[in-house]
Amino acid sequence: MDPRTHVEMARDHVLHPSNPDAQDAYDFQAFKEKFKIEMQAIDGMDMEFDMIGVDAAIANAVRRILISEVPTMAIEQAYIYHNSSVLPDEMLAHRIGLIPLAVDARRFRTLEEDNNEMNDLNTLVFDLDVECKHREGAKAGETDKNKKYINHMVMSSDIKWQPKGNQKDRFKTAICPVHEDIPIVELRPGQRVSMELHCSKGVGKLHAKWSPVATASYRNAPHIVLKQRVTGDLAYRLQQCFTDGVIEVRDGEAEVVNSRADMMSREHLRHDDLAPLVHTTRRRNHFIFQVESTGALEPDVLVCEAVGVLKDKCSRLLDQLNAITGTE
């Protein structure tokens, strides 16, 4: 297999991790001809797509920006008026801050843009006020907490938006947490949690609560080739060495049906009789991306936003280089 396009997977190491014929000169026209994005699946907040024709540095830049530099809104300040739960104030505030909010951060400014002065263009305000009580009429000895108590569990659905300024006109539907069934803290009769929450715009490199993705990862696309016909017992043994769905046995003969599903465990290389039968490599410039949004924005929108951030970074770098060299 050509080492310029493939990375070979040996038993305990990787062959040709770097392209031996890599060209330092950048050819934009060649990039345009080779680069493409292929959407594989998108289901709610999960997306899988292929990025083809780029170096690993570009793929990794997109991944890192997705995690740490695409802005979202998150609860930053918690003004606690009453907390008699078992959780200390700082732990309770931390848990609440990590709850993702269903709001588009592109419609807000950062506090820094307004000299750290809060207004309806950079801050959202929420209230949380829950008190646990005994439920009237509950039977003696009742063990079901839902029948025994009222408000025994503080949930993310208890976080209520309080519109400020013209926010009610700007947002026709109420802003709320992405998921309404996230437990925050358990209460018992006489315990209460009451606080005012201020939400602001930020990025994941400041704190994980502003990261718009639960996961953002990529891997080089696997390429699996059978060197010869594999039949009988060997075919079934070979099938067991790969991820489910990669190899099927049809009419007693092994066939590679879905290389991209393989996780490259290289299990077949542990067997002397199976190792010579298969050639396993990864495509050097073909990356399989998996992105799971926390829910504020759809995953395809997040990828576009990440590319936009990368574009801005490149523009700033070019401007600085031009300023140093005195060129336009």
Q: Using one digit for the tens of pLDDT, what is the confidence trace for 78-97?
A: 999 999 999 999 999 999 99
| pLDDT surpasses 80 at 127 | yes
d(CA 242, CA 254): 12
pLDDT band, residue 3 (cuts 50/70/90): confident
CATH 3.30.1360.10 fits 6-15+26-69+214-291, yes or no: yes
Do domains 6-15+26-69+214-291 and 72-211 share one topology? The answer is no
Q: Which pLDDT band, with edges at 50, 70 and 90, does 6 fall under? A: confident
Q: How far is CA 37 from CA 183, 220, 261, 279, 328, in A?
A: 39, 14, 18, 26, 32
pLDDT in tens, 128-166: 999 999 999 888 888 899 999 999 999 999 999 999 999
24 pLDDT above the threshold of 70 = no
As a whole number of angstroms, the distance between CA 253 and CA 84 comes to 67
Which is more confident, 72 or 32?
Answer: 72
Please state, in angstroms and rounded to a whole number, the distance separating the CA atoms of residues 234 and 236.
6
Token code pair at residue 14: 């990787």
pLDDT of residue 13: 85
Residue 328: predicted pLDDT: 63
Q: What is the pLDDT of residue 162?
A: 97
- Does residue 261 surpass a pLDDT of 90? yes
φ/ψ of 14, rounded to 5, equals -115, 130
Interatomic CA distance for residues 263 and 58, integer angstroms: 22
The confidence band for 22, taking pLDDT boundaries of 50, 70 and 90, is low
The Cα–Cα gap between 8 and 103 comes to: 44
Mean pLDDT across the chain: 93
Buried residues in 277-311 as b, exposed as e (16+ CB within 10 A): bbebbbbbbbbbbbbbbbbbbebeebbebbeebbe
Domain boundaries, the chain: 6-15+26-69+214-291, 72-211
Give the burial string for 50-65 (b: 16+ CB within 10 Å, else e). Answer: bbbbbeeebbebbbeb
- Average pLDDT in the 246-269 region? 93
| pTM of the predicted protein model | 0.88
Q: What is the pLDDT of residues 225-238, one digit of tens each?
A: 999 999 999 999 99
- What is the C-alpha separation between 214 and 302, in angstroms, rounded? 12
What's the pLDDT tens digit per position in 293-311? 999 999 999 999 999 999 9
Helix-, strand-, coil-residue percentages of the chain, each rounded to 5: 30, 30, 40
pLDDT exceeds 80 at position 64: yes
Of 76, 62, 63, the residue nearest 209 (C-alpha): 76
DSSP assignment, residue 231?
B
User: pLDDT tier at 288 (50, 70, 90 boundaries)?
Assistant: very high
Concatenating the DSSP letter of every residue in 85-132 gives SSS-HHHHHHHHHTS-B---GGGS--TGGGTT---TTT-EEEEEEEE-
Task: Encode pLDDT of 101-110 as tens digits.
Answer: 999 999 999 9
Query: Sign of torsion, CA 290 293 299 302?
Result: negative
Q: What is the CATH number of domain 72-211?
A: 2.170.120.12
Report in angstroms the alpha-carbon separations of 277 from 226, 232, 239. 6, 14, 12
Q: Report residue 109 as tokens.
A: 């400014």
pLDDT attached to residue 32: 87
Closest CA to 78 of 227, 242, 199, 247: 199
Q: Is 76 helix (H, G, I), strand (E, B) or coil?
A: strand
